Amino acid sequence: MSQLFLGHYLLKQGLVTQNQLDQAIALQMEANRRLGDLAEEAGLLTPEQVRSILAAQREADLSFGELAVAGGGVTRGDMDDLLFRQHVHQVHLGEALLTQGTLSSEQFCLVLEEYSRQEEARHKELDAVLGPRGEGRAVRRLVEALERAFPRFVGCPLKAIGGLAQDELAGMGYSYASEVPLKGGGVLRYTLHLGERMLAVVAEAPGASRVVCGGPDGAVRSQLAMICAHAGLALSGVALGAGRTDGPQRAVLVRLGCPEAEMGLCASQEGG
């Protein structure tokens, strides 16, 4: 499962060491400037305004740029300039590994080709579970929203892997249920199922360490509540679309994973 992420794929294949990977990630972080830092450097935002926008991101499913422009501190033209600067200087993991001489160009091209085939297979399996892209299905939008929210609140990436069997879901002992009202009166009900390893990942998130009431369980529930609330913002305006039914539809079971662990999602939607 760790092979879902390029760095861990390279580790699994024995092409890089953990130290080499850590050095490449550090190089990425140094080279890849955040929009807030660029806006401060250009004199468009103060440090206080940047912190305010970052705090607002925890309450809205919007990018830093969208919030900065909406707040009136930055014009759309200014933000386009900042995004261009950010893109031009952005360093990807593969580029960092090439720069520090860990991989040759030939090695990286071969690895990237195999990794791309793996990603293509993953997307095909997801389409089989969620339906083709472009249909606007609420469950797909939920999965995409969870993939965006998880790094923001837990601090590590999350990817949808594919389908999940009911007995596998039952083996994940911790569950957290939520629901989102949909445009047109429908509702999407879903439950996140976590095993012991994913529980530890969520409990050790930076935000969880600030939760003092309720112990480890309270910290996990607090983090999951924020993730689900954030995902709900992206779902609240989604219509059920064609083929809707008045009763509950078949539950969709999805496996989601981060580099260290995985969790399950069981979701179903009902018409208004």
Name the more confident of 242 and 38: 38
Token digits of residue 141: 């939008």
Task: Taking residues 39-67, report their average pLDDT.
Answer: 85
Task: Please report, to the nearest 10 degrees, the dihedral formed by the alpha carbons of residues 107, 110, 111, 117 taken in order.
Answer: 180
Q: What are phi and psi of 253, to 5 degrees?
A: -110, 125
172 pLDDT above the threshold of 60: yes
Decide: 53 and 139 in contact? Cβ < 8 Å.
no
Question: Which residue is it, tokens 């923001």?
Answer: 152
- Taking phi over 0 as left and psi of -120 to 50 as alpha, with beta for the rest, 43 belongs to left
pLDDT per residue over 74-105, tens digit each? 898 988 898 888 877 778 888 888 888 888 88
194 pLDDT above the threshold of 90: yes
Position 205 scores a pLDDT of 81
Query: How much is the pTM?
Result: 0.75
Residues 49, 244: Cα–Cα separation, whole Å: 43
* CB-based contacts of 156, cutoff 8 Å, min separation 6: 150, 201, 258, 259, 260
pLDDT per residue over 2-47, tens digit each? 456 888 888 888 888 989 988 888 887 777 788 888 888 889 899 9
Token digits of residue 35: 């929009």
pLDDT mean across residues, the chain: 83
Three-state DSSP at 162 gives strand
Amino acid at 111: V
Position 249 scores a pLDDT of 66
Closest of 32, 30, 40 to residue 68, by C-alpha: 40
Closest of 175, 188, 158 to residue 221, by C-alpha: 175
Closest of 254, 226, 257 to residue 61, by C-alpha: 226
* CB-based contacts of 21, cutoff 8 Å, min separation 6: 7, 10, 11
Decide: 107 and 115 in contact? Cβ < 8 Å.
no
Extents of the domains making up the chain: 132-270
Token digits of residue 71: 């707040």
For residue 215, name the pLDDT band (cuts at 50, 70, 90): low
Lowest mean pLDDT among 53-62, 71-80, 121-130, 258-267: 53-62
Position 196 scores a pLDDT of 92
Please tell me the CATH code under which domain 132-270 is placed. Answer: 3.40.1550.10
